[in-house]
Amino acid sequence: MAELLDGKKVAEEITARVREKADRLTAAGILPTLAIIRVGEDPGDMSYERGAKKRAEKAGVSVKEFHFSDDACQEELMDTLRQINRDESIHGLLMLRPLPKHLDEAGLCEMLDPAKDVDGITSGSLAGVFMDTGQGYPPCTAEACMAILDHYGVDLKGMKVVVMGRSLVIGKPVAMMVMKRHATITMLHSRTREEDFRAAARDADIIIAAMGRAKAVGSDQLGEDQILIDVGINMDDEGRLCGDIDPDAAESRAKSRTPVPGGVGSVTTAILMKHVVEAAEKV
């Protein structure tokens, strides 16, 4: 039986520390505040927003919501970003993505004041992760993976870590963060040959799965006694939430694993609040 890497527990611990800082700031007249931009009513976005708002309340962070219909135009969003940049009472922005395709998402990300980039969406923050300068904030999901590994005392030095997926939101940044801790990384993705995928995954000490494909990683792709970090949040055939890794296969083979739900996703919003409070402290 695999040890459970309990995201909720990690999130609670982070939230408690963040809450202390938030309370001190609030007492000093600075109310840490997160702006949320949501365009349209995608169920995934709305669910994530609800989670973020709950987490914000626990962490002592205030939330300002900016909602748009899914035919909102670029200009409207640009105006809102300018307003958020100017507004000294707002310390960070969560913009739910992907945005509808008619919008220039990259252009909007780049408009954000780097000091308010608490979710690592600007080139400045991403350069900080790539160059390891500490500039900006890493994407919250990537930092959430690290927080879970840290909480459970995993020393990454010399470990073989396989990252599945090469997105800018999670795959690439988490690979850089893991390599900074002296792990040896292999990045697998949709164009990796099937036999290479299987061999590398089986041979890894740690797998970080972030492809967004329901239960795509099964017994065939798992070795023995691995640490499995499952970033995927998908729906299975019965319409239930599931990760990228088949939980039955993981349960029987892994040394330890994050569940879905209750794993990485739970920690992500706690990291977001941590960043908002850090941004408020810098003001």
The least CB distance from residue 267 to its own copies, in Å, is 24
- E strand map for 112-178: 160-164
CB 47 within 8 A of CB 76: no
The Cα–Cα gap between 172 and 138 comes to 11
The Cα–Cα gap between 114 and 116 comes to 5
Nearer to its own copies, 72 or 217 (CB): 217
The least CB distance from residue 61 to its own copies, in Å, is 28
Nearer to its own copies, 120 or 263 (CB): 120
The least CB distance from residue 199 to its own copies, in Å, is 8
- Please, which residues have CB within 8 angstroms of residue 146's CB and are 6 or more apart in sequence? 174, 177, 178
Nearer to its own copies, 64 or 166 (CB): 166
Residue position matching structure tokens 């695999």: 2
Nearer to its own copies, 59 or 154 (CB): 154
The least CB distance from residue 228 to its own copies, in Å, is 19
What are the tokens at 161?
Answer: 């870590």
Nearer to its own copies, 186 or 258 (CB): 186
The least CB distance from residue 177 to its own copies, in Å, is 13
Give the phi and the psi of residue 61 in degrees, each rounded to 5.
Answer: -110, 135
The least CB distance from residue 281 to its own copies, in Å, is 23
The Cα–Cα gap between 264 and 15 comes to 14
Nearer to its own copies, 135 or 219 (CB): 135
Residue position matching structure tokens 């941590």: 274
- Please, which residues have CB within 8 angstroms of residue 70's CB and are 6 or more apart in sequence? 39, 40, 41, 100
Residues that bind its own copies (CB under 8 A): 106, 123-124, 126-131, 133, 135, 157-158, 160, 166, 168, 172, 176, 179, 182, 184-189, 191-193, 196-197, 200
